[in-house]
């Protein structure tokens, strides 16, 4: 491929091979011949070419007029006489242009000529100079090199003063089409003037050092161990981003039609050149790609017009090819300098992804995973997502796997989530999404609903599984991209579907293994995890059944759950399991059971540190929580968010105390903000605390050695607050939570749960959504047995439903589906079916909770339907639910 440099005519090479170089040289020679044909002629006295001076049809032209017409003839492929053959252009070809001499050719015509040639892969700049800037080369085409804020603003000011934009067009087309020149432009002098103080947390020393222009020697020595690659050269960002912004602001003062087309085509050429060079490993070492991307992403027009439709897609395809180390450097730089602009960039990329998704024709033959532009945009979105996390991560919240729940020293499963697959870019940066509590851009803003709705999760999961099983040496190009590897872009509902496929495959695998062992080894066939439960001994029977399963073969927990209530007929197709889970939850969280303490202010449950129940009981609750997720069953559990953070591998901290105990959190916050230095005399608080259990018994505890004799003062109040929160959230419930987490890990240790979901999303998996939108349920409901959406009984039914209170609506859900919780993604994903169950009668409605089917007689009027339906809901415990 030809180098992206400049030849003797100052032209920029397009992405191509040596044939492109020949075309450019030939183009330049043609323009010369057109010029001499217009000024001196071909020498044939009988020439009849109207564009040749020898034909006497060409009026006396000034050098500028001749140059302009030569460009126009080249663009139009005008007639060229054979006899024109001079090789050099006079140095005085392009004298200074004054306002009085611009009538020969307009700037719009020059733009038209230039853009025409750009579309052909060439850049033939208008050979005009502005305000005394005369071309020095023999071709008359000025050759701008790198840009600075000063010379760029000078060009802009001169163009505005004289109303001639040829110099600006030439400069933009020349520099912004050349990666090498653009990478050397707007270089910082000394310290970057745009270094900002982040308002979302203090950066660690390691993060600040990684943002320095000069990389640390120790980092260089570490990277020297690996085999050097050309793509890893030049990983520093040396752009003065404030200069870039001021320069673009100056450019914005000019009407876009005077330069926009040239800039757009130059940027397309730039990005395509970079993309091809990086794909084929021909990137030049002297090209600073990070500088190029920093400058281009600062363009304020990326979300509009041709920039959005043409430049942004090619820019994303090029940026997505950056090596991981360079992406990490880009993240560090943007986290320091571009956080205020982060939301705009995210929204612009989201619009592009949505536009491509909605305008594309995707199906089984051409999946959304095959669209290079969409996948490239998602990869760039990952960079912005990491910027979002990196900018708000605090050192105190970064915990290694060994430090998470350190009280679980005898727990072999404690690291099951700490060793989960992390995003490679986050691993390179040393950050985790769990360490970011208040990001500049809300995590929900990274969801793309159109993409989540269109992506075929069964196929995407297959790509995800293939990538997970591929050896590290496998080429990424040989594997299809899976959006499950970019979970931030998928809605919780889409990710829940991906998790469902993973769980079902594991269930079927265990079922096949059981049948194989039965046939080949003569073992009893046990394809399901069967629990036989007595209603008056639910906890005891569940505990015994699960303990036996884990002792005999822990992998039995990965089988499909089947529940059988003793003395009752019924086949568990999901409905009996839902009822079983609800019965267990009702008993375990009963205050009389005293396993959990209830906070009436927050209406959340927390582990009782003085509980007399054995570890096996808490392990059972952990297993039940894991089985509920594994079997796609929603539970009515009210835990604070810190429980899910701890399950995913992070200790509770002072920030988590706000949800668990708002009153205590407020008091400790006031302590931290106390302005005077007389804390010790005023508060008289020591490092010894007291608390009550659920029975009202008071306990005392020293937060550190001799805590009762150590007073809290101005210097140690932060230590007191952190020790207090650590004791309440981690230490005092260490035994109970260790057992709980152990049971949870027994079911989910091999699941991609920790990779796909954040704590807030895990809570949705367990508890469902909090939005009861019955309009959405009505729109998604199907009808059977003769009912349609227009049936009179159906109209009466929905009229009654919409008039119910929220509590009655929850009971209706419980009656029809076996659960009063809203699934992840809303009621529209519930798939309710209303079937006609005979003509009008006094029978009550019935429900098949396993299949979400409501059997509804065709009642004559609305009043009777409401009376029969409410009676069925009121007395549905044990009756009417099949």
In this structure, are residues 630 and 574 in contact, taking their beta carbons and an 8 Å threshold?
no
Tell me the C-alpha distance between 792 and 790, whole Å.
6
DSSP 844: P
Tell me the C-alpha distance between 480 and 463, whole Å.
6
* Residue in this structure with the two tokens 């075309």, named with its chain if needed: 23
Torsion angle, CA of 397/395/661/442, rounded to 10 degrees?
A: -80
Beta bridge partners of 59: none
DSSP H or E stretch at residue 604 = strand 604-607
List the catalytic residue out of 42, 47, 316, 850. Answer: 850
SS3 674: coil
Question: Could you tell me where the beta strands, DSSP code E, fall in 659-738?
Answer: 688-692, 698-702
SS3 627: helix
Torsion angle, CA of 218/223/225/226, rounded to 10 degrees?
A: 170
Nearest to 312 by CA among 344, 339, 340: 344
Beta bridge partners of 330: none
Tell me the C-alpha distance between 13 and 20, whole Å.
7
SS3 156: helix
- Pairing, β 529-533 against β 561-565: parallel
Tell me the C-alpha distance between 677 and 680, whole Å.
8
**Which CA distances in Å does 400 have to 309, 419, 796?**
44, 10, 58
Burial label for 712, CB within 10 Å (0-12, 13-18, 19+), is buried
498-502 LR contacts (CB < 8 Å, sep 24+): 498/457, 498/460, 498/461, 498/464, 498/752, 498/756, 499/629, 499/751, 499/752, 499/753, 499/756, 499/757, 499/765, 500/632, 501/457, 501/458, 501/461, 502/461, 502/465, 502/751, 502/752
Q: Catalytic annotation on 42?
A: no
**178-211: string of b/e by CB count within 10 Å (b at 16+)?**
bbbbbbbbbbbeeebebeeebebbebeeebeebb
In this structure, are residues 7 and 25 in contact, taking their beta carbons and an 8 Å threshold?
yes
- Pairing, β 853-856 against β 846-848: antiparallel
- 816: left (phi > 0), else alpha (psi -120 to 50), else beta? alpha
Number of CB atoms found within 10 A of residue 835's CB: 17
Question: What phi and psi, each to the nearest 5 degrees, are found at residue 721?
Answer: -60, -45
Active site residues: 850
């Amino acid at each position: 491929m030809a180098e992206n440099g400049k030849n003797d005519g100052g032209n920029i090479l397009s992405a191509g091979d040596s044939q492109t170089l020949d075309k450019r040289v030939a183009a330049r020679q043609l323009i010369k011949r057109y010029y001499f044909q217009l000024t001196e002629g071909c020498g044939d006295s009988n020439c009849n070419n109207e564009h040749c001076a020898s034909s006497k049809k060409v009026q006396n032209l000034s050098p500028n007029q001749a140059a302009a017409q030569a460009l126009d003839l080249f663009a139009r492929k005008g007639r060229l006489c054979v006899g024109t053959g001079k090789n050099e252009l006079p140095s005085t070809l392009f004298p200074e242009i004054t306002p009085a001499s611009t009538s020969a050719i307009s700037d719009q015509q020059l733009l038209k000529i230039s853009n025409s040639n750009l579309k052909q892969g060439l850049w033939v700049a208008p050979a005009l100079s502005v305000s005394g800037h005369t071309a020095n080369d023999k071709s008359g085409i000025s050759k701008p090199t790198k840009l600075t804020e000063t010379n760029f603003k000078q060009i802009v000011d001169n163009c505005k003063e004289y109303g001639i934009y040829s110099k600006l067009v030439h400069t933009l087309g020349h520099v912004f089409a050349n990666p090498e020149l653009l990478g050397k432009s707007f270089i910082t002098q000394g310290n970057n003037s745009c270094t900002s103080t982040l308002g979302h947390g203090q950066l660690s020393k390691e993060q600040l050092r990684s943002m320095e222009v000069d990389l640390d020697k120790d980092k260089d020595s570490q990277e020297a161990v690996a085999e050097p690659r050309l793509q890893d050269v030049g990983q520093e960002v040396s752009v003065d981003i404030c200069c870039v912004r001021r320069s673009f602001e100056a450019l914005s003062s000019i009407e876009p039609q005077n330069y926009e087309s040239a800039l757009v085509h130059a940027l397309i050429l730039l990005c395509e050149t970079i993309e091809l060079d990086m794909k084929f490993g021909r990137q030049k070492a002297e090209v600073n790609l990070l500088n190029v991307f920093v400058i281009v992403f600062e363009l304020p027009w990326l979300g509009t017009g041709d920039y959005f439709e043409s430049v942004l897609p090619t820019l994303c395809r090029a940026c997505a090819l950056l090596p991981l180390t360079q992406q990490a450097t880009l993240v560090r730089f943007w986290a320091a300098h571009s956080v205020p602009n982060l939301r705009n960039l995210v929204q612009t990329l989201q619009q592009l992804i949505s536009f491509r998704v909605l305008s594309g024709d995707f199906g089984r033959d051409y999946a959304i995973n095959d669209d290079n532009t969409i996948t490239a945009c998602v990869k760039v979105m990952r960079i912005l997502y990491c910027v979002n996390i990196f900018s708000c991560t605090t050192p105190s919240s970064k915990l290694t796997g060994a430090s998470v729940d350190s009280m679980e020293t005898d727990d072999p499963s404690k690291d099951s989530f700490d060793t989960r697959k992390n995003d490679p870019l986050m691993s390179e940066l040393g950050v985790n999404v769990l360490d970011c509590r208040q990001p500049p851009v809300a995590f929900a803003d990274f969801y793309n609903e159109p993409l989540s709705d269109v992506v075929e999760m069964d196929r995407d999961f297959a790509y995800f599984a293939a990538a997970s099983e591929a050896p590290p040496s496998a080429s990424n190009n040989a594997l299809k991209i899976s959006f499950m590897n970019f979970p931030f872009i998928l809605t919780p509902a889409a990710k829940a579907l991906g998790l469902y496929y993973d769980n079902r495959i594991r269930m079927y695998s265990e079922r096949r293994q059981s049948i194989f062992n039965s046939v080949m080894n003569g073992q009893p066939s046990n394809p399901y995890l069967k629990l036989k439960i007595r209603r008056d001994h639910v906890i005891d029977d569940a505990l015994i059944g699960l303990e036996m399963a884990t002792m005999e073969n822990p992998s039995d927990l990965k089988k499909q759950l089947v529940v059988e209530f003793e003395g009752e007929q019924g086949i568990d197709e999901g409905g009996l399991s839902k009822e079983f889970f609800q019965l267990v939850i009702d008993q375990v969280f009963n205050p009389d059971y005293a396993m959990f303490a209830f906070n009436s202010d927050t209406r959340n449950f927390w582990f009782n540190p003085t509980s007399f129940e054995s570890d096996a009981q808490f392990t059972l609750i952990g297993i039940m929580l894991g089985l509920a997720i594994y079997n796609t069953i929603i539970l009515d559990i009210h835990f604070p968010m810190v429980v899910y953070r701890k399950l995913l591998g992070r200790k509770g901290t002072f920030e988590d105390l706000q949800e668990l105990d708002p009153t205590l959190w407020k008091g400790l916050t006031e302590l931290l903000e106390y302005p005077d230095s007389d804390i010790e005399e005023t508060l008289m608080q020591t490092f010894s605390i007291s608390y009550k259990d659920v029975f009202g018994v008071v306990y005392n505890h020293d937060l550190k050695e001799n805590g009762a004799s150590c007073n809290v003062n101005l210097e140690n109040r932060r230590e007191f607050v952190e020790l207090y929160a650590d004791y309440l959230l981690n230490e005092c419930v260490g035994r109970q939570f260790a057992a709980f987490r152990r049971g949870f890990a027994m079911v989910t240790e091999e699941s991609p749960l920790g990779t796909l979901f954040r704590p807030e999303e895990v809570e949705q998996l367990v508890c469902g959504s909090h939005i009861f939108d019955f309009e959405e349920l009505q729109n998604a409901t199907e009808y059977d047995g003769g009912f349609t959406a227009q049936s009179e009984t159906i109209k009466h039914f929905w009229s009654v439903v919409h008039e119910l209170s929220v509590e009655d609506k929850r009971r209706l859900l419980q009656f029809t589906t076996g659960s009063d919780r809203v699934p992840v993604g809303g009621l529209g994903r519930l798939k309710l079916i209303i079937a006609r169950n005979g003509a009008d009668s006094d029978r009550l409605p019935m429900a098949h909770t396993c299949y979400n089917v409501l059997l509804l007689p065709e009642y004559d009027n609305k009043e009777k339907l409401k009376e029969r339906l409410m009676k069925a809901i009121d007395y549905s415990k044990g009756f009417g639910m099949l």
